[in-house]
C-alpha cells in the first residue's frame, strides 16, 4: 500500500505557473496538464466536513499524463502511504502508452491526498497561525473531504468528467466518494479491495496502529507498519516466502522482513500523516447521513454511472465478501454493478502486484466508462431528467 521504491517525488512549482491550482492574480494562468511531472496546485481556503476553522490554504501535489479534457480522463487515487506518482512509481505498469490506461488516448490524473506528506497540505505543512508544522493539531479529514478536494483540483485543471475513478484500499474508499460527490460526472467507479464502510475488524487493527503511533512516535510508526503488513499479505504468501526460515543471526526471517518494512516507512513517512490518513479510513461509510448505503448509491443509478467492485482472493483486510456486499448494495440501488476478483496469493496488496489481471479489468472498465459518458452526451435531455 505504498510507492514501490519509497522515494519522495520532486514537486515543481514554476514561478511562471504560480499558483498552479488557480489563475494567479491578473494573469489567467491555469495548471498544467500532460506534463508527466509532479506539480503543486494551490487551491485556496478549504472547509472540512467536521467543521471548525477552514484550512487557510489547500495545496495538492498532482501528476497528469496524457492528453487533456477532449479525451477520456481517469482519476487514480493512492492508498494509505502512496503519492501522486502513480504513473512513475506504484502503478507504472498500468499507466502509459499501450497500457491499461493508454496515455496516448487517455488523460490520467493522480494527486497526493489531502493530509498527505508528499507535497499536499497535511500535518507536515506549516500552519500560518503558528509558523510551525501542523503536526498532531492537523484537523480531522474525511473521505468526503478528500473527494471535494480532488474535484477542486479537477476544476482547476479544466477536467469536468472522469470515465473512470479508481484506487485500491483507501484509494477505493475515496473513489466511491468522488463518484457520489458528482455522479453525473463519472462514467465508472472502480473501487479495488475497498468496502462500502470500514468493518469492525479493520477498525480494531487501525486502533492498535494509532495507539502505537500516539504512544511511541516514530518507533510506534515502525511497529504500526509491521502490524499493517500482516494484514496486507496472506498466510499463503508469508508461508511461501518465509515459513520458519531463520537469518544468520538466528532470528526468524519473517521478523527481519517486518523490521525492514517498519524502518523503510519511517525513512519516508510521517507519524502525524499516518494518523490523519488512517482516520480517513476509520470514518469511511458511504451511507452515513444519506439514509444508508443503498440510498446513497442510488445517486450513481440516477446519473447512469456504473460500479465495478474488484475483490482480492485471500485479502483479510477488506476481503471479497466486503466488496461483494458493496456490489450487491449498488445493484439493489439500481446501479449497473459488476464484481471481479483478482486471483492471487499476495493478499490485500495484490492491487500493487497483479499487473496482468489489473490490466484486463481496468482496460475493460475504462471502455465501459467512456461509453457511458459518450451516451450521456448523446442524450442530454434524458440525463437531465434522470439526475433530478
Answer for the pair 161, 303: CB distance below 8 angstroms, yes or no: no
Instruction: Tell me which of 64, 270, 348, 349 is the catalytic residue.
Output: 348
Instruction: Tell me which of 42, 237, 315, 349 is the catalytic residue.
Output: 315
Question: Is the dihedral angle over the CA atoms 39, 91, 236, 253 positive or is it negative?
Answer: negative
CA separation for the pair 380, 388 (Å, rounded): 13
Answer for the pair 86, 36: CB distance below 8 angstroms, yes or no: no
Neighbours of 236 (CB within 10 A): 14
Q: Give me 101's grid cell.
A: 490506461
Q: Angle at Cα 58 formed by Cα 282 and Cα 38, nearest 5°?
A: 95
Instruction: Tell me which of 83, 169, 234, 293 is the catalytic residue.
Output: 169
Q: Is 169 a catalytic residue?
A: yes
Q: How far is CA 127 from CA 122, 269, 273, in A?
A: 10, 19, 14
Q: Is the peptide bond before 19 cis (omega within 30 degrees of 0)?
A: yes
Bridge partners (DSSP) listed for residue 286: none
Q: Which residues are part of the catalytic machinery?
A: 169, 315, 348
Amino acid at each position: 500500500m505504498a510507492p514501490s521504491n519509497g522515494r519522495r517525488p520532486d514537486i515543481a512549482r514554476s514561478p511562471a505557473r504560480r499558483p498552479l491550482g488557480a489563475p494567479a492574480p491578473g494573469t489567467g494562468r491555469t495548471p498544467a496538464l500532460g506534463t508527466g511531472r509532479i506539480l503543486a496546485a494551490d487551491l485556496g481556503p478549504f472547509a472540512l466536513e467536521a467543521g471548525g476553522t477552514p484550512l487557510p490554504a489547500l495545496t495538492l501535489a498532482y501528476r497528469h499524463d496524457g492528453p487533456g479534457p477532449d479525451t477520456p480522463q481517469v482519476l487514480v487515487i493512492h492508498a494509505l502511504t502512496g503519492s501522486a506518482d502513480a504513473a512513475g512509481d506504484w502503478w507504472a505498469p498500468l499507466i502509459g502508452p499501450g497500457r491499461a490506461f493508454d496515455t496516448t488516448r487517455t488523460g490520467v490524473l493522480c494527486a497526493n491526498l489531502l493530509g498527505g506528506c508528499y507535497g499536499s497540505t497535511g500535518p507536515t505543512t506549516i500552519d500560518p497561525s503558528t509558523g510551525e508544522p501542523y503536526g498532531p493539531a492537523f484537523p480531522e479529514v474525511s473521505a468526503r473531504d478528500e473527494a471535494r478536494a480532488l474535484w477542486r483540483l479537477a476544476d482547476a485543471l479544466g477536467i469536468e468528467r472522469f470515465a473512470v475513478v479508481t484506487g485500491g484500499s483507501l484509494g477505493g474508499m475515496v473513489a466511491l466518494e468522488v463518484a457520489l460527490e458528482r455522479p453525473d460526472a463519472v462514467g465508472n467507479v472502480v473501487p479495488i479491495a475497498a468496502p462500502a464502510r470500514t468493518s469492525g475488524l479493520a477498525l480494531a487493527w487501525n486502533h492498535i496502529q494509532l495507539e502505537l503511533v500516539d504512544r511511541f512516535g516514530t518507533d510506534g510508526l515502525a511497529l504500526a507498519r509491521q502490524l499493517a503488513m500482516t494484514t496486507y499479505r496472506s498466510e499463503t504468501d508469508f508461508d511461501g516466502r518465509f515459513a520458519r526460515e531463520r537469518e544468520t543471526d538466528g532470528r526468524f526471517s519473517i521478523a527481519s522482513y517486518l523490521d525492514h518494512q517498519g524502518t523503510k516507512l519511517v525513512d519516508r513517512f510521517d507519524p502525524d500523516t499516518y494518523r490523519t490518513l488512517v482516520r480517513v479510513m476509520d470514518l469511511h461509510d458511504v451511507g452515513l447521513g444519506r439514509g444508508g448505503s443503498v440510498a446513497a448509491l442510488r445517486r450513481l443509478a440516477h446519473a447512469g454511472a456504473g460500479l465495478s467492485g474488484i475483490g482480492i482472493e485471500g485479502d483479510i483486510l477488506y476481503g471479497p465478501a466486503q466488496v461483494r456486499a458493496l456490489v450487491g448494495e449498488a445493484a439493489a440501488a439500481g446501479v449497473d454493478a459488476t464484481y471481479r476478483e483478482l486471483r492471487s496469493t499476495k493478499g490485500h496488496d495484490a492491487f500493487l502486484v497483479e499487473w496482468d489481471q489489473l490490466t484486463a479489468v481496468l482496460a475493460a472498465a475504462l471502455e465501459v466508462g467512456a461509453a457511458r459518458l459518450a451516451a450521456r452526451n448523446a442524450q442530454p435531455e434524458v440525463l437531465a431528467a434522470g439526475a433530478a
